[in-house]
Amino acid sequence: MKKAIKMYVYFSKYSFDKVGTFAAYSFRTPDTANLTLVCEQDIEFDVPEKYDPTAQKIAALQAQKAKAQEDFNNSVFQINELISKLQALEYNSEPQ
C-alpha cells in the first residue's frame, strides 16, 4: 500500500559548522538564523498491507524492562555495598 507524506527540507548551518547540512522534517518550523526552509517535498513509500507493529512494541518493552532490571540490580548492589561497609566499622558506644 502506498502512503505519502509532505516533508519540509531545511538547510542548517551554525557558526561552528564549516559546511551546512540538509535535513527533512515532517513539520514546518519558522526560519531562523541557523535553519532555513529549502523546499516542500511529497515523499511516497510502501507500507505492507497488513502492517502490525505489535512485535516491535513488545521488543521495545522487553528492552525497557531489561534496562529497568539492570538499573534496579545496580542500585541494590550499591546499597548492599554501603551496608557492608557500615557493618565492617567497629562500633564503640563508650566515649573516648
Considering just the CA atoms, what is the radius of gyration of the chain in Å?
27
Q: Are residues 16 and 39 in the same domain?
A: yes
Q: Answer whether residue 67 shows pLDDT above 90.
A: yes
What pTM was estimated for this model as a whole? 0.53
Q: Are residues 35 and 13 in the same domain?
A: yes
Q: Are residues 27 and 57 in the same domain?
A: no
Q: Are residues 58 and 78 in the same domain?
A: yes
| Residue 17, domain extent | 2-46
Is residue 95 in a domain? no
Is residue 94 in a domain? no
Confidence of residue 22 (pLDDT cuts 50, 70, 90): very high
Question: Which residue do the cell numbers 535553519 mark?
Answer: 35
Lowest mean pLDDT among 19-23, 62-66, 76-80, 84-88: 84-88
Q: Are residues 6 and 36 in the same domain?
A: yes
At a CB cut-off of 8 Å and minimum separation 6, what does 6 contact? Answer: 26, 40, 41, 42
Q: Are residues 66 and 32 in the same domain?
A: no
Task: Give the Cα separation of 37 and 24 in Å (integer).
Answer: 10
Cα 36 to Cα 17, 43, 70, 89, distances in angstroms: 15, 20, 43, 64
pLDDT for 86 equals 86
The tally of domains found in the chain comes to 2
